[in-house]
């Protein structure tokens, strides 16, 4: 996600003419806001919007679900603590291609990325982290599909959320 996004509110000025008098009203327009923090890393409304629009998290049914997925991602990355091995360019390219193929034909992905302010480098970094998380979770809990694995992963994430004082 874009760590450089600045949360701010812009003041807009509305000028009108009512009853022979010039009327000026200040209006606050929300540009971005911090929704929460995970170990000091902010999650902003722009991050949630980006992840939802670009379908970067599996459950994008609501902004709350996306925020929770982003929190969980940051918790896991924090838990990994040490630099995970680089999955390599080919694996990142394959993950990106898979993501690209998940969209309907004719979807203008570069336009969507531009709308979110996402660069190719940021998207590749996202997919690199995805692959590192997958490798870490597989090493710790076994391969996807193994009996009981999902329950163990969910229990572990619940414990990470508890330790970080997240709901």
- The answer to whether residue 4 sits within a structural domain is no
Query: Looking at residue 30, what is its pLDDT?
Result: 66
Segments forming the whole domain that contains residue 128? 35-163
- Cα-based distances in Å from 124 to 103, 105, 107, 119: 17, 21, 19, 9
Residue 16 in any domain: the answer is no
Residues of the chain with pLDDT under 50: 1-11
Give residue 70's pLDDT.
97
Asked whether residue 110 is assigned to any structural domain, the reply reads: yes
Indicate whether 6 belongs to any domain.
Answer: no
What is the total count of domains within the chain? 1
Predicted pLDDT at 85:
84
Q: What is the pLDDT of residue 10?
A: 44
Q: Taking the model in full, what pTM does it have?
A: 0.76
Residue 115 lies in a domain: yes
């Amino acid at each position: 996600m874009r760590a450089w996004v600045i949360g701010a509110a812009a003041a807009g000025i509305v000028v009108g003419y009512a009853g022979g008098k010039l009327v000026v009203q200040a209006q606050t327009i929300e540009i971005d806001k911090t929704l929460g923090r995970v170990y000091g890393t902010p999650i902003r409304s722009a991050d949630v919007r980006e992840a939802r629009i670009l379908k970067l998290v599996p459950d994008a049914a609501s902004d709350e679900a996306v925020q929770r997925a982003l929190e969980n991602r940051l918790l896991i990355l924090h838990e990994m603590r040490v630099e995970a091995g680089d999955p390599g360019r080919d694996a990142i390219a394959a993950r990106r291609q898979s993501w690209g193929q998940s969209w309907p034909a004719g979807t203008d992905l570069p336009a969507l990325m531009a709308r979110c302010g996402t660069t190719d480098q940021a998207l590749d970094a996202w997919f690199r982290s995805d692959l590192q998380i997958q490798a870490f979770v597989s090493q710790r809990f076994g391969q996807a599909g193994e009996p009981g694995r999902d329950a163990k992963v969910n229990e572990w994430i619940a414990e990470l959320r508890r330790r970080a004082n997240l709901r």
